[in-house]
Amino acid sequence: MSFSFSNLKARRLAVAACGMSVLLLSGCVVNTSVVDPLKMSAQSGETPVVVSITSNTKDIYGFNSIKLRQVVAGEQRSDFKLVSANLVMTKVESAMAGDTSLFIGTLPPGEYEFVELIDTRANKLLHVYSTIVGSFKIGTGKSADLGRLIVTRGDFGVQYGRSAQVVSNAELIQRFAPDYSKLFGAAASLGWSTPHHAQDNVEQFARAHPAGAECATEMPDGRVAAASRMGAVLMRSTQGQWKIINAPSVESLSCVFPVDLPNAELIAVGESGSLLRKARDSDELFPVDTGNLPPGNLLRIGGNPKDGWYVMHRKGDALNIFHANQLDAGDWRSVHRSTLPGSWLHGPGLLWTWQDAGHIGYALESGVIGEFDYSTGKLTERFSPHKKSLTEFIHQANGTQSVLVAAGLGGRFPDAYVSRDRGQNWTPVVSPFKVLMSPVAPLNDGRLLMEAGMYNEGALLVSSDEGKTWGPYAPYTLRHAPLIFPSGLALSIQEDFKGNVSIYSSMDNARKWKLEHSNQDLLSTLQQLKR
């Protein structure tokens, strides 16, 4: 069964009109915040409860509030309630992850069910029905650990269910909310009143259809790897066949990095401090001991055995680059720290990150571009053209950088520039269009490709003089300029705001394209229709 996200503002307006509910026969809702277990009095009689939620969709930024209701013995689910009471739990640690949220609170003994999952930043809420997830019971004097809930976007809506991979939050609590560890552990009750439903295959579906394809990277032998949600790495063979490799856990991954180590050919990093390795001739991802690396989100990893390893780490508005001589159980030390710009009104500013064979780097919306050299251990900061705000940024392994900077009315008519020396010098691109949708894409032979403007028939244009003049190149009905890899392979990763992904490939310098991979397939569609 599939559902959809609702608009939170509309719900708030309905709540504001609660005084008219008797006339409208729509009922009122009373929301009460649950008590933090660390602030609970010994005489309260309430019991600590914990649950985490991982979302496999780009619809939201991660749930930050959930609503529960207590089930009254003997009640019928269809009973009309003029006034209903909800208990509200808020997220414990906002900086630990993007797609995974941790909730801890206290509840009086009784039976409960989930009502809504809410993301105020995305202005979305999801109604939850106990017939799918089930209800849970809180006893006296024994904490309850409900494990993980999974929310995923399907072909026909949103689905949710309980995780079989993550049935305990003990590790998450120990890493991100250690003050609560003493309240939970091996003695914690599972809480659920009913076993995992036999038809609840939401997690299996989500792991087989992860949303997103980030940080696509070509490996030395021509294969391509990309990071995705649900602890997944997408792997492309040199023949164009894609497969999904899942980690034991379900945290979202942000990037992959090819390495040449005895026990690994690929390293993956992600939210909640995820650090994983893939061995040669293996289709498994194994956890790597993170040593003393502080809790946070890992955005990128780079380095080598000689110069050591560098991890780009984000927690809230703090961006750190950590270094360790060894990858496994490393002794990590911060070698650079930046404060990311942002505002309460508009949220965090844009951030782009990259790594290549010799550097790990970042670019901020403000126009600051920094990169750390593995061999020298030094950071170099440069700036966008004329120190203008960045709206798009692309870094290629050969050091070429291609950007869009804010220009025109409210920055809505950006200008394009390209640099061949890692941002030391910028060459303006003369565009035949008023509106550019993406930066230009450098071909391996030095020419530049430009996607035709948003109001034009789909096509790619080509320039042989660093963007001064442009001519026709090839039809192109896809969005955004393609990714060009050292082998000559070109990929166009098409992703909508929900996280639906389609990956197209070209082996003739981006002239002809074919669909190779999608997380929407006929089998999954038929399965959802059957449900």
Span 274-331, pLDDT tens digits = 999 999 999 999 999 999 999 999 999 999 999 999 999 999 889 999 999 999 999 9
Cα 30 to Cα 5, 87, 216, 221: the distances in Å are 22, 8, 47, 60
Question: Which pLDDT score, from 0 to 100, does residue 81 have?
Answer: 47
Span 148-177, pLDDT tens digits = 999 998 767 888 999 999 999 999 998 889
- CA distance linking residue 181 with residue 495, whole number of Å: 39
Question: Which pLDDT score, from 0 to 100, does residue 512 have?
Answer: 95
Span 79-110, pLDDT tens digits = 444 446 788 888 887 767 889 999 999 999 99
Answer yes or no: are the C-beta atoms of 283 and 243 closer than 8 Å.
yes
Closest to 496 (Cα-Cα) out of 515, 473, 520: 520
Spell out the residues 6+ positions from residue 320 whose beta carbon is closer than 8 angstroms to its own: 296, 312, 313, 314, 334, 336, 337, 338
Give, for 318, the enclosing helix (H) or strand (E): strand 318-324
Tokens of 495: 């992703």
Q: Is the pTM above the cut of 0.85? A: yes
Cα 482 to Cα 407, 412, 452, 468: the distances in Å are 23, 22, 12, 20
pLDDT tens for the chain, residues 1 to 531: 455 666 655 555 544 445 433 333 344 668 888 889 998 877 678 999 999 999 999 888 889 999 999 988 766 654 444 446 788 888 887 767 889 999 999 999 999 999 999 998 888 889 887 777 888 999 888 899 999 999 998 767 888 999 999 999 999 998 889 999 988 877 788 889 888 888 889 999 999 999 999 999 999 999 999 999 999 999 999 999 999 999 999 999 999 999 999 999 999 999 999 999 999 999 999 999 999 999 999 999 999 999 999 999 999 889 999 999 999 999 999 999 998 886 544 456 789 999 999 999 999 999 999 999 999 999 999 999 999 999 999 998 888 999 999 886 655 688 999 999 999 999 999 988 878 888 999 999 999 999 986 656 788 999 999 999 999 999 998 988 899 999 999 999 998 877 788 999 999 999 999 999 998 865 555 544 454
